[in-house]
Structure 1
Amino acid sequence: MTLNASIRETLTGISTATLTTVLLKKGLRNVWLRGTKPLKPGQPRLVGHAFTLRFVPAREDLATPESWSSPTSTRAAIEAMPADCIAVVDAMGVTDAGIFGDILCARMKKRGVAALITDGVVRDVAGVLGTGLPVWCNGVAAPPSVAGLTFVSWQEPIACGGVAVFPDDVIVVDDDGAVLIPQALLADVVAIAAEQERLEGWIMREVEAGAVLPGLYPPNEENKARYEADKRR
């Protein structure tokens, strides 16, 4: 599935903080993927469809170095990733086994994957940073994935950071972490969030000019009218 260029451009200008507020108003509270922290400060805000991958706890007969050559492997999953997707990996919050290292991240970058997001950790951190692939994760660890995890599947529903993620849900990620927008709500959320971002920009300018917060944030009827008048100018 390809994300509409106009929607992508709009979402690139909307913070994840704004999106969580909009989704909260629509009744969705559990959309922020816990443990998804930028591996490198200053990574750009990115938008893309989720390409999901899932690990389960390690089992000694399955979680072996030989499993890396299996048809059901992270290597095979990477070759199925379309350009511009965001890889979202359910690592169950395990922080002592790195799910991906520099070689796998380099291949993802070569395939045009937009970013890697996981509630787990990565390894070979210097090499991963060197690939230029934007990564959001819960830290770094030297041991390989099979030290604590078994890879089982891709492109099926997962739980990442305590959030249910389905293939092709839309992910927006920035310095505050990753937020999920259900595909069915995308158009509505984009329209509301774009207006919310404009309103908050106006409120910030008012604050910088010395305005007090009561009646401004959130705006009362008088300030709503002032905002609408400013929009028409």
Structure 2
Amino acid sequence: MPPVPAPATMSLDAKVVETLSQVTTATLTTVLLKKGLRNVWLRGARPIRSGQPRLVGRAFTLRFVPAREDLATPESWGSPISTRAAIEDMPAGCIAVVDSMGVQDAGIFGDILCARMAKRGITALVTDGVVRDLHGVLGTNLPVWCSGAAAPASVTSLTFTAWQQPIACGGVAVFPGDVMVCDDDGAVLVPSALLDHVLEHAPEQERLEGWIMKEVDRGVPLPGLYPANAEAKARYEADKASGKI
């Protein structure tokens, strides 16, 4: 199946990015849990360096399958269906989400590919696998969430097959155009159909939990506070109305 062209909806409104960049991935998992979604945190996708800013973007998906010797060759890097071709199809501002099947002994991207992504304005790379040329990748300043590093090339263990198709990354179903939020806790998927719901409820959840932290700091016991009962919610609303929060 050929790759699906990136739709116009791959771009996110700047206000959406600003709002979600103020919401932790932990809060997002809570908000989505209340909607019945339990599987939105990508296993194995950890920040490659500490202190990376929280990043937001639509998912541009790439998929690997197990290596097959007639397909996974160095010559395949020049094929029309290759990671190189996929990178050139990525729109600026997207987050590349790569299904590496959790493989730990073959780096899917190295410094040259990451440098090209950075040059093209890609927000971040997220994968359940590993990268190679770690020192060089760090030098590109492309934000990366992955499982670590390995020296061997991708074709030693993986075959690249497609981009902009539904994938499984870190045990999570990711569709092109879904929204990714990445921070120190990892990468969380916000289904595109639930984006408006998250934008409405996630900032309020952050405000409430910030108020709860202040109550904890002043010695308020947890029962009735977290989760907030009717009395605690009334105090919260009163503080919000008075401008204290």
| TM-score, reference length from structure 2 | 0.94
2:3 paired residue number: none
Structure 1 residues 82-121: aligned runs within 5 Å: 82-121=91-130
Amino acid in structure 2 at the alignment position of 1:160: C
Q: 1:37-66 CA distances to partner (integer Å, 9 max, x unpaired)? A: 111111110000000000000000100000
1:209 aligns with 2:215: no
Correspondent of 1:65 among 74, 82, 85:
74
Which of 155, 168, 182 lines up with 1:146 in the alignment?
155
Matching of residue 131 in structure 1 with residue 140 in structure 2 = yes
CA RMSD, aligned part only? 0.6
Percent identity over the alignment is: 75
Deviations 1:108-140 (A, max 9, x none): 000000000000000000000000000000110
Moved over 6 A (4+): none
| Residue 206 of structure 2 corresponds to residue 197 of structure 1 | yes
Residue 181 of structure 1 is aligned with which of 190, 195, 216? 190
Query: Residue 32 of structure 1: SS of its match in structure 2?
Result: coil
* Inter-partner Cα distance in structure 2 for 1:119 and 1:219: 36
2 CA distance for matches of 1:222 and 1:46? 36
Query: Which structure 2 residue ranges, 5 or more long, are not aligned?
Result: 1-8
How far, CA to CA, are the matches of 1:104 and 1:163 in structure 2? 24
Gaps (5+ residues) in structure 1? none
Distance 2:31 2:155 in 1: 39
Specify the SS of the correspondent of 1:61.
coil
CA distance in 1, matches of 2:163, 2:98: 9
Letter of the aligned partner of 1:27 in structure 2?
Answer: G
**Total equivalences in the alignment:** 233
Q: CA deviation at 1:5?
A: 1.5
Partner amino acid, structure 2, of 1:16: T
Q: Which of 75, 85, 94 matches 2:84?
A: 75
Structure 2 equivalent of residue 17 of structure 1? 26
